[in-house]
């Protein structure tokens, strides 16, 4: 059953996060990846529960804002540890989540639609660093209207008061 204790999970993830919580790979990025993913999933058959969990976990164990080999795998391992405590997921969903997190930085473009949609949700937020999203996988992510919405989310963060 698709249950997430979002408050508890986010508090836990915040407590172990070592980077800037409001920074490039922090909570606002996760929120935009979640929004992007759920937007894309309205137009394809991606698993919305996995998309949401991916948003929370894929960068949760980053140790650097830049090159950080293994951070996706560490995020996947954390998800496995917290399953049953803050969320429920089937074994099939955990397999998808693990693969999506572990390989999300590798530039891959083929695979399961849920995994591809996770990667696209993350890549669409490259706009936050002024980069054009690349290596998009799904038709939904290649849709210009969806790209405009993702861009607006990213640019709102770029224009935030500091
Ligand atoms: Fe990310």
Mean pLDDT, the chain, rounded, equals 96
pLDDT at 41: 97
81/1 Cα distance (integer angstroms): 18
161 band by pLDDT with thresholds 50, 70 and 90 = confident
pLDDT over threshold 60, residue 155? yes
- Ligand 1 centroid, distance to 85 Cα (angstroms): 23
Q: Which of the 8 DSSP states describes residue 87? A: B
62 C-alpha vs ligand 1 centroid, how far in Å? Answer: 10
pLDDT band at 106 (very low <50, low <70, confident <90, very high): very high
pLDDT in tens, 127-142: 999 999 999 999 999 9
Q: How far is the CA of 155 from the centre of ligand 1 (A)?
A: 16
Distance 126 CA to ligand 1 centre (A): 8
Whole-number pLDDT of residue 162: 83
Task: Using the mean position of ligand 1's atoms as its centre, give its distance from the Cα of residue 11 in Å.
Answer: 19
Topology of domain 6-158, per CATH? Hypothetical protein af1432 (1.10.3210)
Q: Where are the domains of the chain?
A: 6-158
CA distance 122 to 58: 9
1 CA distance to ligand 1 middle (Å):
25
DSSP for 26-60?
A: SHHHHHHHHHHHHHHHTSS---HHHHHHHHHHTTT
Residue 1 in this model has a pLDDT that exceeds 60: no
- In this predicted structure, the answer to whether residue 2 has a pLDDT above a threshold of 90 is no
Are 121 and 77 a contacting pair, CB within 8 Å? no
3-state DSSP call for residue 83?
strand
pLDDT at 34: 98
Query: In the beta sheet, which residues pair with residue 87?
Result: 4, 83
155 contact partners, CB below 8 Å, separation of at least 6: 127, 128
The helices-and-strands tally (H runs, E runs) of the chain is 8, 0
Over residues 42-69, the mean pLDDT reads 97
CA–centroid distance, 30 to ligand 1, in Å, is: 7
The pLDDT value recorded for residue 114 is 98
CA 130/CA 141 separation, integer angstroms: 17
């Amino acid at each position: 059953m698709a249950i997430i204790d979002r408050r508890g999970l986010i508090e836990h993830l915040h407590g172990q996060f070592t980077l800037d919580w409001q920074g490039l790979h922090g909570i606002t990025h996760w929120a935009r990846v979640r929004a992007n993913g759920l937007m894309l999933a309205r137009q394809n058959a991606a698993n919305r529960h996995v998309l949401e969990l991916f948003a929370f976990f894929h960068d949760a164990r980053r140790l650097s804002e830049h090159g950080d080999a293994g951070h996706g795998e560490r995020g996947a391992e954390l998800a496995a540890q917290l399953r049953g405590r803050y969320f429920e997921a089937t074994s099939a969903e955990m397999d998808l989540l693990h693969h999506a997190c572990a390989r999300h930085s590798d530039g891959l473009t083929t695979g399961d639609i849920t995994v591809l949609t996770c990667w696209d949700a993350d890549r669409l937020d490259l706009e936050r660093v002024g980069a054009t999203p690349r290596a998009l996988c799904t038709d939904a992510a290649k849709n210009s209207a969806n790209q405009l919405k993702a861009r607006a989310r990213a640019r709102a963060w770029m224009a935030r008061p500091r």
